[in-house]
Amino acid sequence: MPVVTIARDQEIAVVTVDNPPVNALSQALRQGLWEAVATLDADPQVAAVVLICAGRTFIAGADVSEFGKPPMEPHLPDLVARIEGAAKPWIAAIHGSALGGGFEVAMGCRFRVALTDATVGLPEVTLGIVPGAGGTVRTPRLAGVEVAVDLATSGKPLSAEKAHNAGLIDAVAQGDLREAATAFARMALAKPLPQPVSARPVVAPGAQFWFEKEKAIVKAAKGAAAPMRALACLRYAAEAAFGEAMAYERETFLDLRGSEQADALRHVFFAERAAPRPAALREVEPQPIRSAAVVGGGTMGAGIIAALRAAGLPVILIEREDEAVTRGLANVAQIFDRAASRGTMSAAQAQALTEGVTGSTEYARLSKADLVIEAVFEDIEVKRAVFAQLGRHCRPDAVLATNTSYLDPRLIVEGLPNPERFLGLHFFSPANVMKLLEIVPVPETSARTLSTTFALARLLKKVPVQAGICEGFIGNRILKRYRAAAEGLVRQGVPIAEVDAAMRGYGFAMGPFEAQDLGGLDIAFLQREGARAAGQLVPETLGDILVRAGRKGQKTGGGWYDYTLDERRPVPSATVMELLCAEITPGVELAHPAIATALVNEMAAEGQAILDEGIADTPADIDLVEIHGYGFPRWRGGPMFATRARR
Ligand code: 3HC
Ligand code: NAI
């Protein structure tokens, strides 16, 4: 089947691209379009050309899998120029997403028509590169510099409506796109044609504009190089001639394409796409999930309910008493109300989402639920009592999951009838925001149950990673080693604030000590105390000393740092130094990169142990856990990718 076919609707030619899954611009597709221009230019019957795509989307970009290979002709910028210079005007008919090279092809067309639910964008910076076929040069000519800067430096797509308002597309259509675009073409032919985009002028902003954008972009990028390079291309596009700006953009694109950051971001791109559909489950049909229930409406339960509701599922909340039901429902309502006040959803949407949750203390209400997630106190007896009730009241095939952080799910499932439908689903806090979902099967868990929870992850738009059973599963186990190693540096005399600054310098939003102050030191402390009470040998940590002195983090006005009540800014603490002085042997001085290398090596070493024990399947899974659960900088590719040469 050819990737490009040409049909005719009287004087309008319709060029259809069909290159599944996302019509990426492979060499064959570029060649097909290149030849289509020549064919249609030579056909005197053709007055205009509609470019449309088969399948789920318009052209979604360059073919990322070709990035590691030498570029092959025809090169994309040449193809875009050829479409722009065609003797007949081309009209891009956009459905799904016109992204990166796809949007660049659309900008080579004389007009762009998009369905209402389509999006357009320049996501190249999310792959560590800049647009390579005129994205930074043509966008400001269509929509002005401000819009172009937002589009190309954030990588975030725009809805058809917003793109229309910004001048990036000419018309928004509903219904049959091919008909709408053909009708648009006939209408356009009746009027004088606009200039090709490359010939349109740009209004160049002054130096202050660039200075402010630079400041904001450096801050948001947290070490990622591509957004600043995209800004430099845009400035060139605003200030230099079209041809020079194209050459500068291409040079930047080729330079970044082979960079370490682009390599890392491609690794994450493919890992994220592989994660929701593990090969081992490809043939296993998931069970439908049409309704859900959550037991426990505290921090995690409320967040999980919000995630389930946002995916459109009706949810029942079960709590232990009426007051707790009311509190749990209020926790959920608060999540949606906050979203509405931030403007991420309308008040009506928030109300509809809230109203889709019903609360009860009666397990009998769960007789029809397809899925139940338990998020009660982290206490084995409490959890077992909950599953005893679930075993009694739920359908024998309802999927039953625990959100435990540290308890052994094998102990929770003991005595549950039909244990093949049970497993751990470890969400991260806040569960409606964090993308990571650790899926933890017990030996009895069936492939169907696993397949169903991967389907659930896709529905919730989470990044699922299967984990074996060990203390802390994948993520919290690595976190424990990371924190211990950070404490180890402090014991050797590295100042707490220097460790945090080093990890921020590496690309984390927060260092390990600041993060503990924010989350509270008491949770991990109580867990260690529990293990000690159970007779395990758990050495005293520096964190234990602080908690015993009442320093549990920001909520108590101090943890690793001091905080004034109204400010969250950490201030190095003399009290902490006094409390810890007996444990610290000064002597080691490390520069920030050495601190970061030491700590990332520790994470990777724990990751390797996790792989060796079969707790995780691939290094990429560990990278996804760290990026989506623990704020590891995406552009570093995760601890396993970042240390691959050193391991
Ligand atoms: N190149 C190669 N393969 C791609 C691809 C691309 N640009 N985009 C997606 N794919 C593949 C995925 O790897 C996946 O493969 P698999 O089925 O074998 O796992 C398959 O297409 C489907 O992808 P998704 O699961 O992501 O499909 P969705 O329907 O959920 O999403 C999408 C569709 C919104 C188009 C999403 O795939 C996407 O955002 N793709 C990336 C778009 C992008 O970044 N484009 C810019 C590329 S860089 C560029 O164009 C440079 C230029 O300026 C020169
Ligand atoms: P929480 O204390 O905020 O909420 C627990 C809720 O469970 C309370 O509302 C309580 O009333 C309810 N509950 C207790 N016993 C119950 C019973 N028998 N029946 C019905 N409801 C009952 O706790 P949180 O933080 O939400 O944690 C819940 C679970 O999620 C724990 O297993 C925890 O380890 C796990 N978890 C917590 C994370 C976090 O960051 N807080 C992250 C990931 C998992």
Q: At residue 80, what are phi and psi to the nearest 5 degrees?
A: -60, -40
Residue 272 confidence class, pLDDT cut points 50, 70, 90:
very high
Sign of CA dihedral 146, 151, 152, 155: positive
Catalytic residue among 35, 66, 73, 104: 104
Give yes or no for residue 549 having a pLDDT over 90: yes
As a whole number, the mean pLDDT across the chain is 96
Which stretch of DSSP H or E encloses residue 113?
strand 111-115
Nearest alpha carbon, ligand 2 atom 31:
378
Residue 273 is predicted with a pLDDT of 96
Residue 66 is predicted with a pLDDT of 87
Residue 2 is predicted with a pLDDT of 81
Average pLDDT over residues 603-607: 98
Q: Is 345 in the pocket of ligand 2 (CB under 6 A)?
A: no
Burial 542-564 (b: 16+ CB within 10 A, else e): bbbebbeeebbbbebebbbbbbe
Task: Kindly state the tokens that stand for 298.
Answer: 């505290």
Give yes or no for residue 584 having a pLDDT over 90: yes
Nearest alpha carbon, ligand 1 atom 25:
273
Residue 320 confidence class, pLDDT cut points 50, 70, 90:
very high
Give yes or no for residue 567 having a pLDDT over 80: no
The number of the ligand 2 atom at minimal distance from the alpha carbon of 327 is: 9
| Distance from C-alpha of 68 to C-alpha of 628, rounded to nearest angstrom | 25
Task: Kindly state the tokens that stand for 519.
Answer: 């989350």
What torsion do the CA atoms of 467, 472, 478, 483 make, to the nearest 10 degrees? 170
Taking the centre of ligand 1 as the mean of its atom positions, its distance from the CA of residue 530, in whole angstroms, is 46
Ligand nearest to the CA of 120: 1
Q: Residue 2, preceding bond cis, omega within 30 degrees? A: no
The number of the ligand 1 atom at minimal distance from the alpha carbon of 131 is: 53
Residue 266 confidence class, pLDDT cut points 50, 70, 90:
very high
Q: Is 270 in the pocket of ligand 2 (CB under 6 A)?
A: no
Residue 489 is predicted with a pLDDT of 97
Burial 61-100 (b: 16+ CB within 10 A, else e): bbbbeebeeeeeeeebbebbbbbbebebbbbbbbbbbbbb
* Residues within 6 Å of ligand 1 by CB: 21-22, 24, 56-57, 60-65, 76, 97, 99-101, 104, 123-124, 127, 131-133, 135, 273-274
Q: For ligand 2, pick from 294, 300, 382 the residue to mutate: most ligand atoms within 8 Å of CB.
A: 300
Which residue from 170, 54, 186, 33 is spatially nearest to 105, judged by alpha carbons?
33
| Distance from C-alpha of 590 to C-alpha of 592, rounded to nearest angstrom | 6
Give yes or no for residue 400 having a pLDDT over 80: yes
Taking the centre of ligand 2 as the mean of its atom positions, its distance from the CA of residue 338, in whole angstroms, is 21
Residue for token digits 């809230």? 354
Residue 71 is predicted with a pLDDT of 83
pLDDT tens sequence across 490-531: 999 999 999 999 999 999 999 999 999 999 999 889 989 988
Name residues whose C-beta falls within 8 Å of residue 324's C-beta, 6 or more positions apart in sequence.
Answer: 297
Residue 476 is predicted with a pLDDT of 96
Residue 645 is predicted with a pLDDT of 83
Which of 134-143, 365-374, 553-562 has the least mean pLDDT?
553-562
Q: Is 325 in the pocket of ligand 2 (CB under 6 A)?
A: no
Burial 169-201 (b: 16+ CB within 10 A, else e): bbbbbeeebbebbbebbeebeeeeeeebbbeee
Catalytic residue at 124?
yes
Q: What is the DSSP string of 424-489?
A: EEEE-SSTTT--EEEEEE-TT--HHHHHHHHHHHHHHT-EEEE--SSTTTTHHHHHHHHHHHHHHH
Which of 119-123, 524-528, 566-570, 611-615 has the least mean pLDDT?
566-570
Taking the centre of ligand 1 as the mean of its atom positions, its distance from the CA of residue 60, in whole angstroms, is 6
Taking the centre of ligand 2 as the mean of its atom positions, its distance from the CA of residue 293, in whole angstroms, is 14
Q: What is the DSSP string of 16-62?
A: EE--TTTT-B-HHHHHHHHHHHHHHHT-TT--EEEEEE-TT-S---B
Residue 590 confidence class, pLDDT cut points 50, 70, 90:
very high
**Cα angle 487, 504, 130; round to 5:** 145
Taking the centre of ligand 2 as the mean of its atom positions, its distance from the CA of residue 375, in whole angstroms, is 5
| Distance from C-alpha of 505 to C-alpha of 525, rounded to nearest angstrom | 28
The domains located in the chain, with CATH, are: 4-258 (3.90.226.10), 287-466 (3.40.50.720), 475-646 (1.10.1040.50)
Q: Percent of the chain at pLDDT above 70?
A: 100
Nearest alpha carbon, ligand 1 atom 12:
273
Three-state secondary structure string covering 354-422: HHCEEEECCHHHHCCCCEEEECCCCCHHHHHHHHHHHHHHCCCCCEEEECCCCCCHHHHHCCCCCHHHE
Catalytic residue at 104?
yes
Average pLDDT over residues 167-179: 97
Taking the centre of ligand 1 as the mean of its atom positions, its distance from the CA of residue 494, in whole angstroms, is 44
Between residues 104 and 66, the one the model is more confident about: 104
Catalytic residue among 124, 374, 420, 606: 124
Give yes or no for residue 68 having a pLDDT over 80: no
Residue for token digits 């409406």? 297
Average pLDDT over residues 261-280: 96
Give yes or no for residue 135 having a pLDDT over 90: yes
Q: For ligand 1, pick from 17, 19, 58, 64 the residue to mutate: most ligand atoms within 8 Å of CB.
A: 64
Distances (CA, A) of 44 to 48, 92, 490: 11, 21, 78
Nearest alpha carbon, ligand 1 atom 20:
21
| Distance from C-alpha of 314 to C-alpha of 305, rounded to nearest angstrom | 9
pLDDT tens sequence across 423-432: 999 999 999 9
Q: Is 331 in the pocket of ligand 2 (CB under 6 A)?
A: no
